[in-house]
Amino acid sequence: MLYCAPSLVAGMNIGIFTELYPPSIGGQEIRFAELAQVFRERGHNVSVYCIAHRRDLPKRETLGGVEVHRFPVDEHYRRPQSRILPRNPITILKYATWVRRVLKTRSFDLMLFNQWPLAHIAFAPRSARRRAVVDWCEVRDARFYRFMQWMLPRLSGQNMGVGPAVCNHISAVSGRPVFYLPSGIRRSAYRSLPAAERRDILYLGRITTHKNLAFLIDAFARLKTAGHNQAAPLGGDALVIAGDGPDMPALRAHAAASPVAEQIRILGAVSEQQKIDLLSGARLLAIPSRREGFPRIVAEAMASGLPTVTARFPENGTGDVVDHYGCGVVTEPEIEAFAGGLINAAERWEELSRRGLDRADELDWQMLAEQIEGRTMAGISKVKVQGSCVF
Which CATH number does the domain housing residue 159 bear? 3.40.50.2000
178 belongs to a structural domain: yes
What is the count of structural domains for the chain?
Answer: 2
Same domain, 331 and 381: no
pLDDT exceeds 50 at position 380? no
What per-residue confidence (pLDDT) applies to 169? 93
DSSP-derived 3-state class of residue 159 = strand
| pLDDT, mean of residues 282-291 | 97
| pLDDT, mean of residues 211-233 | 83
- Domain of residue 132: give its range: 13-184+364-386
Share of the chain above pLDDT 70, in %: 91
pLDDT exceeds 60 at position 286? yes
Same domain, 53 and 157: yes
| pLDDT, mean of residues 42-50 | 96
Contact in structure between 66 and 88 (CB atoms under 8 Å): no
Distance CA(389)–CA(349), nearest Å, equals 46
Q: pLDDT tier at 386 (50, 70, 90 boundaries)?
A: very low
What per-residue confidence (pLDDT) applies to 183? 83
| Burial (0-12, 13-18, 19+ Cβ within 10 Å), 285 | buried
3 belongs to a structural domain: no
| pLDDT, mean of residues 199-223 | 96
What per-residue confidence (pLDDT) applies to 163? 84
Fill in the DSSP letter of residue 312: -
pLDDT exceeds 80 at position 81? no
| pLDDT, mean of residues 296-305 | 96
8 belongs to a structural domain: no
pLDDT exceeds 60 at position 6? no
pTM across the whole model: 0.76
49 belongs to a structural domain: yes
